A = this chain, B = another copy of it.
Amino acid sequence: MEQDINRQVLLKSRPEGIPEAENFEIVNTPLPELGDNEILVRNIYLSVEPAMRGWVSEVANYSEPVPLGAVMRAFAVGRVAASRHSKFQTGEFVTGMFGWQDYAAVKAKMIQRKVTPTDVPISTSLGVLGLNGLTAYFGLLDIGQPKPGETVVVSTAAGAVGSCVGQIARIKECRTVGITGGPEKVKICRDEFGYDAAIDYKAGDLDPALAAACPEGVDVYYDNTAGTISDEVLKHLKLGARVVICGTASIANWEPIPMGLRVERHLLVKRARMQGFLVLDFADRYADALQELTQWVRQGLIRYREDILDGIEQAPDAIAGLYRGENFGKRLIRIAPEE
C-alpha cells in the first residue's frame, strides 16, 4: 500500500502530565527526499509506550524533549522502500526510532536492527522482542537479581513489560505475584502469564491480599506504577529485598512532586534497596538478551499479547488510553499491511 503522501503525527502542545489526543495533530506532507546513505522506511507498526509521557515533557529526563511541531518520537517497524545505503536493501524489514509517520528517511544509526520474518511476527520487535522485553529482562535480572524460590511481585502485571517480567521470573524459578486492575486482567495473569497469584488492586484492600499472596514477604518488587500500590507493597518487603523502579504509571503528574509514604524506614529495617534503571544503558547487551528472549518465546515459556489499533488516526489518543488501562498487552498502531 504505497502512497505519495506522508501522514505525520506532530506534537502540537505540551501536556501537563499525561499526553492527550488534543496535544497532537495529524498533517499530510510530501514523501521525504533521500539523502546520501539514507534509507526510506515505510512504517507498518508504530509503537505506543507509557514512557512517551516523559519524551514530550519539558522536565529534565533521560532524553531531549520532543520539540513542539516535530513528528512524535516513536519506535516503529517497517519495510525498506528505497535505500541509498549499501547495507540495507529494498524489501528488508527494520526496526528503530522512525516516529509516528508513514515514511521516515533515516541514517543507518537510526535503525536498531533488521527483523527477519520467521515464526515470530515482526510486530514483536516492538514489544516482547523489543524494548519492552529488554526492559523486563535487564530490570528483573540485573537490577532485581532474583534467586530461585524467591517471591517476585510485579505491578501492571498484565502489561507489555510486566507480563514479560512475571514470565522471566517464573523461568528463573521464582514465585510470581502480579498486581493488575480488574477481574479480566487477573484471569489473564493467571491463565496466560502463569503468575502463581494475581491481585486486583481495584477489588479492595491491597494489604491483606499481599499478605495472602506473599506469606513469606516480597524479595523482589518490579515497580511499574509507584503510588499507593507501591506504598502497600513496600510494607511487605523481606530482609534484603530489591525494588526495581521501572515506571510510575499511577502518578499523573510529577510537577510538583507528589507526596507519598516515606520509604526510608522500610529500606533501613529490611536492609532493602530501591534502584532505578534505563534499558538504553544496556544497549551493548541487547543482541544476547534478544537471542535468549526469542528462544523463550519460541519455546512457549514467554507468551505475549498485542493490542493493535488500526490507522494512524488512532495515535493521538493512544498514550492516554494506556494510562486509562484500556489495553490488554503491547499497544501498537498498524498503518500498513505486512505483505
**Chain A interfacial positions (CB closer than 8 Å to B):** 60-62, 223, 226, 230, 245-248, 251, 254, 257-278, 281
Q: Which residues of chain B come closer than 8 Å to A281, judged between CB atoms? A: 271
Partner of A269, one of B60, B223, B265, B272: B60
Q: Which residues of chain B come closer than 8 Å to A262, judged between CB atoms? A: 226, 251, 257-260
Partner of A276, one of B61, B247, B269, B276: B269
Copies of this chain present in the complex amount to: 2
Output the least CB separation between A87 and chain B (Å).
32
User: Which chain B residue lies CB-closest to A274?
Assistant: B274
Is there contact, CB below 8 Å, between A274 and B278? no
Q: Which residues of chain B come closer than 8 Å to A226, judged between CB atoms? A: 262, 264-265
Q: List 30 A-B contacts (CB under 8 A).
A: A60-B269, A62-B269, A223-B264, A226-B262, A226-B265, A230-B264, A245-B264, A245-B267, A245-B268, A246-B268, A247-B268, A251-B264, A257-B261, A258-B261, A258-B262, A259-B259, A259-B260, A259-B261, A260-B261, A260-B262, A266-B276, A267-B276, A268-B276, A268-B277, A268-B278, A271-B277, A272-B275, A272-B276, A274-B274, A274-B275
User: Which chain B residue lies CB-closest to A237?
Assistant: B276
Output the least CB separation between A272 and chain B (Å).
6
Q: Which residues of chain B come closer than 8 Å to A247, judged between CB atoms? A: 268
- A263, A264, A276: most-surrounded residue (chain B CB, <10 A): A264
User: Which chain B residue lies CB-closest to A275?
Assistant: B273
Output the least CB separation between A223 and chain B (Å).
7
Q: Which residues of chain B come closer than 8 Å to A271, judged between CB atoms? A: 275-278, 281
Output the least CB separation between A34 and chain B (Å).
36
> In the docked arrangement, what's the CA distance between A258 and B247, Å?
23
Output the least CB separation between A253 and chain B (Å).
11
Q: Which residues of chain B come closer than 8 Å to A251, judged between CB atoms? A: 262, 264-265
Given A260-B262, A267-B276, A271-B276; 7 other pairs, CB 8 A cutoff: A248-B265, A248-B268, A254-B265, A257-B265, A258-B261, A263-B274, A272-B276
> In the docked arrangement, what's the CA distance between A318 and B329, Å?
58
Output the least CB separation between A329 and chain B (Å).
23
Output the least CB separation between A229 and chain B (Å).
11
Is there contact, CB below 8 Å, between A263 and B263? yes
> In the docked arrangement, what's the CA distance between A281 and B240, Å?
11
